[in-house]
Structure 1
Amino acid sequence: MLVLLATVLSVGLAVRLGLWQLDRAAQKEALQSAQQSRSMLPRLDASSLARSAQEAVPQHHRTVRLQGEWIAEHTVYLDNRQMKGRPGFFVVTPLRLGGGGGGGGDAVLVQRGWVPRDMQDRTRLPPVTTPAGTVELSGRIAPPPSRLYEFAGQEAGPIRQNLDIAEFGRAAALNLRPLSVLQTDSGDSGDSANTASDGLLRDWPLPAADVHKHYGYAFQWFALGALMTGLYVWFQLVRPRLRARSATVA
């Protein structure tokens, strides 16, 4: 009886986890569809950027064209970020909106791109070219930079694990919009994301690009449930009967 109870509970858990993975896949497929739909909408400019967190959510994944000036002294290097499987930094610099674009003097955090880490000295900052004066750039509106686990007291200095927009804005005395922009060009005509003159790599993945992973996990859980069911049937039902039949014949 204990074996039966343990098998039922284990199989039930495996099936439940498999269904949960299928649900996660469905959620990400819906998100992917929303991303594609928003990316086809007309491009936004600084005057259209959200000023509150509630307004920002419907703008996520829409394309945007901005004009302004880099605030280079507040550049932050987000550590432990990968691109194409390589460890490095996401370079984040505030852009003061202006140039008649309706920014009103506000700023927005721009995730400018990725640079590799110095494997000999992880505290050494890689050289990044930051143009002075007015620049124009294209990008994709995104939520604030994703958060990674960190120990207390690490939210200072140019190299950081995470970046909270509100706290960073207060510390830098900047009025930051409640979103970020993934830069998709270098601001130079003719430059592509992968050959930018500033040396930054901008091969940004879509957040829902790993849907296949959840289908794989679901298959594993369902397969585990089927295996446990098969083992129970064999060892608890089929094998004892075969042994009893053999003993009777003997």
Structure 2
Amino acid sequence: MSARRRLLLVGLAALLGVGVTVSLGRWQLDRVAQKEALAASIQQQGALAPLPNAQLMAASPGPEVQALVHRSAVLTGTWVPQHTMFLDNRQMQARVGFFALTPLRLAGSDTVVMVQRGWLPRNFEDRAKLPALSTPGGVVEVHGRIAPPPSKLYEPGAPALGAIRQNLDLDQFRTETGLPLRTDITLQQTGEASEGLLRDWPAINLGVDKHYGYAAQWFALALLIVVLFAWFQIRPYFQVIKDSHV
């Protein structure tokens, strides 16, 4: 194979490699733009007036209720404490314990919303022992923000069905309890620690820095391909031409 033909073939491969890596870098920057737009939307939602019961109950499942996620809310109702759930292996302030969730029956309606009330420690000497949790009776006013259902952790084997669970499927829980529970959203209670619960919820991390890092890696790889091609292919090729004319 002639030197010119080899240079052409290697050049095409290098051009393909640069095209792929630059495209992947640009895709990562597109992800940054999407997540920055989401962060701006979350900030705008948080600045809106808190949702009352009526507005939440009027929101239809689907895009309409999803548009309310991250918005603050002040809901009034009565707790349904007999159906309190404790999600295991959840962290807050670098400690492992439970997230406590209690259904709230909204005042003036049969609608029930699951409230992520906060975090509390577990008893590591008796892992089956339920933690002490104070739940006020009567009508209460709960401040929080509209949130998706609680995230799920890896759970080997069949899901548990007691008060202590690794994960909580709201559709299954609605069937299990017979409560008219909204399964598309929850309320993440905010405010100072109370009722034995911490509410130092972690800030939402959209991973923008990670995408910037990936983009930089792809662009650096594209540059490396160009430098290697120039050094190992173009430079020797022109050196050969130069030597042939000496």
- Using structure 2 for the length normalisation, give the TM-score: 0.78
Return the offset for 1:43: 1.2
Residue 49 of structure 1 aligns to a residue in which SS?
Answer: helix
Return the offset for 1:123: 4.3
The answer to whether the 8 A contact 1:71-1:95 is kept is yes
- Flag structure 2 segments of 5+ consecutive residues without an equivalent: 1-5
**2:229 — aligned with what?**
232
Residue 161 of structure 2 aligns to a residue in which SS?
Answer: coil
Return the offset for 1:4: 4.0
Q: 1:140 to 1:16 in 2, by over 3 A?
A: same
**1:169 — aligned with what?**
174
Show CA shifts across 1:187-207 (max 9, x none): xxxxx2xx4452323323235
> How many equivalent pairs are there?
235
Pairing 1:64-103 to 2, within 5 Å after superposition:
64-83=73-92, 87-98=96-107, 102=108
Pairing 1:1-250 to 2, within 5 Å after superposition:
3-50=10-57, 52-54=60-62, 55-83=64-92, 87-98=96-107, 102=108, 104-115=109-120, 123-124=127-128, 127-134=131-138, 135-151=140-156, 153-154=158-159, 156-177=161-182, 178-185=184-191, 192=192, 195-206=193-204, 208=206, 210-239=207-236, 241=238, 244=240
In the aligned structure 1, how far is the partner of 2:231 from the partner of 2:208? 35
Show CA shifts across 1:189-246 (max 9, x none): xxx2xx44523233232354x322222221122112212222222222225545x489
Which amino acid in structure 2 is aligned with residue 163 of structure 1? L
The CA RMSD over aligned residues, in Å, is 3.2
Return the offset for 1:6: 4.3
Greater gyration radius: 2
In the aligned structure 2, how far is the partner of 1:91 from the partner of 1:24? 34
Residue 199 of structure 1 aligns to a residue in which SS?
Answer: coil
Return the offset for 1:138: 0.4
Return the offset for 1:40: 1.9
The answer to whether the 8 A contact 1:112-1:202 is kept is no
Which amino acid in structure 1 is aligned with residue 15 of structure 2? V
The answer to whether the 8 A contact 2:135-2:195 is kept is no
Q: 1:170 to 1:123 in 2, by over 3 A?
A: same
Q: 1:14 to 1:46 in 2, by over 3 A?
A: same
Return the offset for 1:181: 0.8
Return the offset for 1:121: 6.7
Residue 53 of structure 1 aligns to a residue in which SS?
Answer: coil
Show CA shifts across 1:96-129 (max 9, x none): 222xxx3x122111112234566x6794567252
- Using structure 1 for the length normalisation, give the TM-score: 0.77
**Identical amino acids, percent of aligned pairs:** 44
Q: 1:92 to 1:6 in 2, by over 3 A?
A: farther
Q: 1:34 to 1:73 in 2, by over 3 A?
A: same
